Amino acid sequence: MEVSTISFSSPSPPSLSPSPPPPQQQPPRSTPADLEAVGLRRLSDNLQRLLDPAFLNCADAEIALSLAKGGAAVGVHRCILAARSAFFLDHFASLPAPAAGGERPRLELADLVPGGHHIGHDALVPVLGYLYTGRLRSPPQEATVCMDDACGHGTCRPAIDFVVESMYAASGFRISELISLFQRRLSDFVSEALDEDVVPIIHVASTCDLQDLLNQCIQRVAVSTLDSRYLEKELPDDIYCKIKEIRQSAFHDEALENAILDPEHEKRVRNILKALDSDDVDLVGLLLKESTVTLDDAFAIHYAAAYCEPKVFAELLKLDSANVNLKNNSGYTPLHIACTRREPDIILSLVERGASVLERTLDGRDALTICKRLTREKDCNRKLEKYEEKSKAYLCIDILEQELKRKSFMLDLISIEESIATPLLVDNFHMRLINLENRVAFARIFFPSEAKLVMRIAQADSTEEFAGITNFSKLKEVDLNETPTMQNRRLRERLDALTKTVELGRRYFPHCSDVLDKFLNEESTDLIFLETGTPEDQRVKRMRFSELKEDVRTAFTKDKAAVAAIASSASSSSSPRKRAKKTTVKVGRKKAKKGTTTEEAPTPRTRATVAREAAAKAKREALELELKATAAREAAQPAAREEAEAAQAAVAREAAQAAAVRDEFSSTQAHEQVMEVMALEV
């Protein structure tokens, strides 16, 4: 097809003036190649819009990420992918024809290409965009930049991970030009990156059959200081054997030489590590008793920090026979290894055991630097929905930052007056217990990630009272089979667990604690909320707040009347024999000292059951009120959403206060009944 040449210039008539002005610069003539480039660029931009879900949802297939990468789906167009890629052409041709009006095909990326479970959204979209447009666009900066401000971001872990994921996608989709491009970038990373950052490059080179890149990685790791046990655990067997042969021939691995000189020691160490792989801490204890090998000799804490579950790791720390600041052959402490794993439970357990956050690796990195350089800026700076759990990487960085700041201030401890062994049924003790219960309950609502973490470390989540956030009635619930000593111990243990939970929250998550302090400040929160906004808004909020308070009072009055009616009905319908027994009980109080045996009246136990049922009903109504307030908040306009959220907070606090009043009511009923029974026993 012929392309006409368009000229943007026109011939000018000759000038009659003796001194012509200087000639004006003519615009450049557009060549066919220029017009073709403009057309291709415009076509490329238009096709790129098809991958934008906000443009037009006209995709006829989906590519779903693995759950580890969020599980999101990217809409694609089979006709474009099949025309641009032989891989997609063969794959779509093998699929059965979809029924008319049926659901569009969903392709699981983990099953579609080798290593598909490693590919994230930020790496998949540019590779698909290349198939759509013929151009490889730059990745979003926040996806390839770490959280460390002192890092140059040229070879940090997020940048390496992005290219690794892109290589998995390009190799799986058989895009040869992208494979060559990403292989050159990975080759540059091998010579510049940290030793442990070469491991993911080894995996992608092995999976995608990139032999030149794989050999380069093997040579780099063989002369590194990475621990042999770490390499054996992380790498495929054939690759580890090659590295082992190179190290053995060069006498580089001193740990390997020691193992050859003392095979019995190596055997005992391996038995301990195998027991940790089986999560059997008891077996580890037996192996330690039977031999002279210690946890430090086996670097068991390092191994557990890298591969064991947090609960198993906590049990291992209870053996109290390991140095939590010991460095392995690579110069890493257990805290450094936990930071590479980014597991907040393990990091917090180590810090509580005295692990130093100031210790540095051989290349000068501390725990916080390790954590920041492994974390993408996107993972920490993205906007969270309300009550959404934060990422583990965010929690790890927050814990380490607060531990560094903690050196400069003292913790808020329980006062001596409250910590002494006082009678547990006094009002100040119960008020403190109720306040702690309320604080932890609201923390689980507002900051679920942080609350779960500190509760696990404080071992509060293993207690029955912490199974739900509405179990306030169990605070003073009376068990007639429980002695005062047993109740004393139970409530004291509960208070200690709650107190430790709050202390850990204040220490490692001070910003969250400040929010809870403001929310639980009963002296000013209600007035501030009711006095904000326009006069019309204040009138509406006061009216709504009064209605909710009246609903709570009405529910409490109904429950109180129901309890009285049921108790009266139970006493009036009792048989004459039971009445005689009750009379005997009343008269027998004076004869108890002479050995008269009396039977326990059934009324106290019945009243306690009724009181518990009434309290549970009142809590359900309070929760219904909270749900109504939540629905009102969601239906509110954006301009009034903040006021609606404050209204919900006030309603939740009022409901908690009402629940505490109901608990006091039910507890008073039960306490009077217990006192009556105790008097009968005396």
Q: How far apart are CA 551 and CA 543, in angstroms?
A: 12
Is the pLDDT at 206 greater than 70? The verdict is: yes
pLDDT of residue 604: 40
Cβ–Cβ < 8 Å for 507, 402: yes
| Residue length of the chain | 682
Cα gap 53→121, rounded to integer Å? 13
pLDDT at 434 over 60: yes
The reported pLDDT for the residue numbered 428 is 60
Is the model more confident about 128 or about 537?
A: 128
Distance (Å, whole) CA 165 – CA 124: 8
Q: 191 pLDDT exceeds 60? A: yes
Task: Write the pLDDT tens digit of every residue in 519-546.
Answer: 776 544 455 556 666 777 777 777 777 7
Under DSSP, the state recorded for 30 is: P
User: What does the pLDDT read at residue 182?
Assistant: 95
Residue 507, token pair as written in the block = 């220490």
| Cα–Cα distance for residue pair 174/165, rounded to 1 Å | 14
pLDDT beyond 70 at 625: no
Question: Which architecture does CATH list for 263-408?
Answer: Alpha Horseshoe (1.25)
Two tokens, residue 113? 């290409």
- Calpha distance 217→147 (Å, rounded): 26
Neighbours of 177 (CB within 10 A): 11
3-class SS of residue 62 = strand
CA-based R_g, the chain, Å: 35
Which pLDDT score, from 0 to 100, does residue 595 have?
43
Instruction: For residue 140, give the nearest of 159, 155, 152, 122 by alpha carbon.
Output: 122
Single out the residue of 317, 328, 319, 398 nearest to residue 354, CA to CA.
317
Maximum average pLDDT range among 46-55, 95-104, 126-135 = 126-135
Distances (CA, A) of 659 to 324, 410, 618, 665: 45, 35, 7, 10
**Each residue's pLDDT tens digit, 352-385:** 888 989 899 988 899 999 999 999 888 877 776 6
Overall CATH class of domain 50-94+102-220: alpha beta
Q: What is the pLDDT of residue 449?
A: 80
50-94+102-220 and 263-408 share one CATH topology? Answer: no
Best mean pLDDT range from 473-482, 530-539, 626-635: 530-539
Q: How confident is the model at residue 568 (pLDDT cuts 50, 70, 90)?
A: low
Highest mean pLDDT among 22-31, 285-294, 653-662: 285-294
Q: Band of the pLDDT at 218, cuts 50, 70, 90?
A: very high
Distance separating alpha carbons of residues 115 and 111, to the nearest angstrom: 9
Segment 468-495 shows an average pLDDT of 61
- Report whether pLDDT(55) > 80: no
Output the DSSP codes for 515-568. Answer: HHHHHT-TTTHHHHHHT-S-HHHHHHHHHHHHHHHHHHHHHHHHHHHHHHHHHH
Tell how strand 73-76 and strand 61-64 pair up: antiparallel
Q: Which residues contact 76 (CB under 8 A, 6 or more apart)?
A: 51, 59, 60, 61, 62, 63, 128
Please, which residues bridge with residue 146 across strands? 376
Residue 391: is its pLDDT beyond 90?
A: no
Highest mean pLDDT: which of 341-350, 490-499, 586-595?
341-350
Separation CA 106–CA 547 (nearest Å): 50
What does the domain layout of the chain look like in residue ranges?
50-94+102-220, 263-408, 429-520, 527-568+597-681
* Angle between helices 121-133 and 32-48 in degrees, nearest 10: 140
Minimum mean pLDDT among 82-86, 242-246, 572-576, 630-634: which range?
Answer: 572-576
Nearest to 119 by CA among 74, 81, 168: 168
Phi, psi dihedrals of residue 82, rounded to the nearest 5°:
-65, -35
Mean pLDDT computed over every residue of the chain:
74
The predicted structure's pLDDT at residue 471: 47
pTM over 0.75: no
Q: How many CA atoms lie within 13 A of 506 on its CB side?
A: 14
Residue 5 pairs in a beta bridge with none
Let me know: does 436 contact 502? Beta carbons within 8 Å.
yes
- The 10s digit of each residue's pLDDT in 221-280 is 999 989 888 999 999 999 999 999 998 887 544 544 454 557 888 889 999 999 999 999
Give me the residues paired with residue 517 across strands: none
What pLDDT does 556 receive?
Answer: 66
Q: Are 589 and 464 in contact (CB under 8 A)?
A: no
Quick one: pLDDT band at residue 641, thresholds 50, 70, 90? low
Q: Does pLDDT of 476 surpass 70? A: no
Banded pLDDT at 172 (limits 50, 70, 90): very high
On whether the CB atoms of residues 653 and 438 are closer than 8 A, the answer is no
Q: Check pLDDT > 90 for residue 433.
A: no
Residue pair 200/171 in contact (Cβ under 8 Å)? The answer is: no
Q: What does DSSP assign to residue 17?
A: S
Q: Is the pLDDT of residue 13 over 50?
A: no
Alpha-carbon 271 to chain mean position: 33
- State the pLDDT at residue 393: 87
